[in-house]
Amino acid sequence: MSVSLLANAKINLFLDLGGVLMNGYHGIWTVMQSVGIADRITVELADSGISVSCTDCKIPTGEKNIAFKAASLFLDHIGSTQGVHIEIEKNIPSQAGLGGGSADAAGTLLALNRLFGEPLTKQQLCKLAFRCGADVPFCLDGGMQLCQNMGEVIAPMPSLKDVHIVVAKPQAGVSTAEAYAAYDSAVWVRRADREQFLYFSATGNTPEILRRCFNIFEQFIEVPGRADIKSVMRKFNAKAACMSGSGSAIYGIFVDRQTAEDCAEQLKAIAPEVFVCMPCENGIIFE
């Protein structure tokens, strides 16, 4: 018996950091949007153990894989010794700030819950998701949501409408740990207006949202190729051009498909991975 699904990537339309929490981690304040770049996850019951296979040889397939961790937490929680095999067709670039690993973990949790007859409530799944990683609770539902604290405090909002998104990943990836270290060592930090962004997000005012896209990490992380990618996006009149997460992927948002495709075609000369996609109202889509 198996379940297959698509696990969508995300972009951060707004990303800010707060102070250090009692657990030693920084609080986050971010608005994320699911986009149509997806890994295909197939979860199949097996005789024993947990195994993971992946089409990207750079992704670990043992206990360090976040989907493996999600499966282990789920099986422990329901008290099952059932074996599970997870197959990941990797399409979301890694070390890109697009939440690929988080999407895989969320997809694994939902697939297992379906395979076992829905033993866990949404709230229980969210708790397990939070133990996997900060972006995993968002990926369970996806769409557009405000995520705070460690990512587990979530408020849904209307998804972006009538836009087309170009995502370009430079050759270099970015370590999340190094990104936070750079933030911690900064002497001065520029902030953006959260309240204005939240107001326009909650009311679904797409033009005003796009005018205010912001990523605090762009002040501290030097990604080779980022400036050139943004320059091309602006040449094609992108309404927003911003880095996602801790990088290194850059997204540009356009009002029509043809312009987005023309921009993507030019970006292929300077970025190894370029995608044209649209906003999605779900993080996980069962096939």
pLDDT of residue 27: 86
Query: Using one digit for the tens of pLDDT, what is the confidence trace for 93-110?
Result: 998 999 999 999 999 999
187 or 267: which carries more pLDDT confidence? Answer: 267
What pLDDT is attached to residue 221?
82
Domains in the chain and their CATH numbers?
2-157 (3.30.230.10), 164-277 (3.30.70.890)
Q: For position 184, what pLDDT does the model report?
A: 83
SS3 189: coil
- Non-local (6+) Cβ contacts of 168 within 8 A are 229, 233, 249, 250, 251, 252, 264, 267, 271, 273, 274, 275
Residue 46 has a pLDDT of 96
Instruction: State whether residue 274 is helix, strand or coil.
Output: strand
Residue 26 confidence (pLDDT) above 90: no
Task: Return the ∠ at Cα 49 (arms to 126 and 3), rounded to 5°.
Answer: 55
pLDDT tens figures, 268-282: 999 999 999 999 999
**What local confidence, expressed as pLDDT, does residue 185 receive?**
82
Angle at 81 between CA 115 and CA 152, to 5 degrees: 60
Confidence class of residue 241 from pLDDT cuts 50, 70 and 90?
very high
Read off the pLDDT band of 174 (50, 70, 90): confident
User: Which of 16, 39, 104, 135 is flagged as catalytic?
Assistant: 135
- Using CB atoms within 10 Å of the CB of residue 81, give its burial: 0 to 12 exposed, 13 to 18 middle, 19+ buried: exposed
Residue 176 is predicted with a pLDDT of: 78
133 vs 33, 79, 105, 171, 202, CA distance in Å?
17, 22, 9, 25, 25
The predicted model gives 108-114 an average pLDDT of 98
Q: What is the mean pLDDT of residues 123-127?
A: 96
Amino acid identity of 187? V
Question: Which whole number is the average pLDDT over 46-54?
Answer: 96
Tally Cβ neighbours within 10 Å of residue 199: 14
By C-alpha distance, which of 46, 98, 147 is closest to 248? 98
What is the average pLDDT across 172-188? 81
Q: Output the six-digit token pair for 241.
A: 């051009």
Quick check: is 135 catalytic?
yes
Q: Which two tokens stand for residue 106?
A: 């969320």
**Which pLDDT belongs to residue 61?**
95
pTM higher than 0.75, yes or no? yes
Q: Which strand (E) or helix (H) includes residue 178?
A: helix 176-184
Q: Active site residue: 10, 69, 90, 230, which one?
A: 10
pLDDT at 64: 95
CA distance 48 to 68: 14
- Whether residue 23 is predicted with pLDDT greater than 80 in this model: the reply is no
pLDDT reported for residue 214: 97
Report the range of poorest mean pLDDT among 62-76, 171-185, 193-207: 171-185
Confidence of residue 212 (pLDDT cuts 50, 70, 90): very high
Q: How confident is the model at residue 172 (pLDDT cuts 50, 70, 90)?
A: confident
The answer to whether the beta carbons of residues 35 and 280 sit under 8 Å apart is: yes
Q: For the residues of 53-101, what is the DSSP string, one character each?
A: EES-TTS--STTSHHHHHHHHHHHHHT---EEEEEEE--SPSSSSS-HH
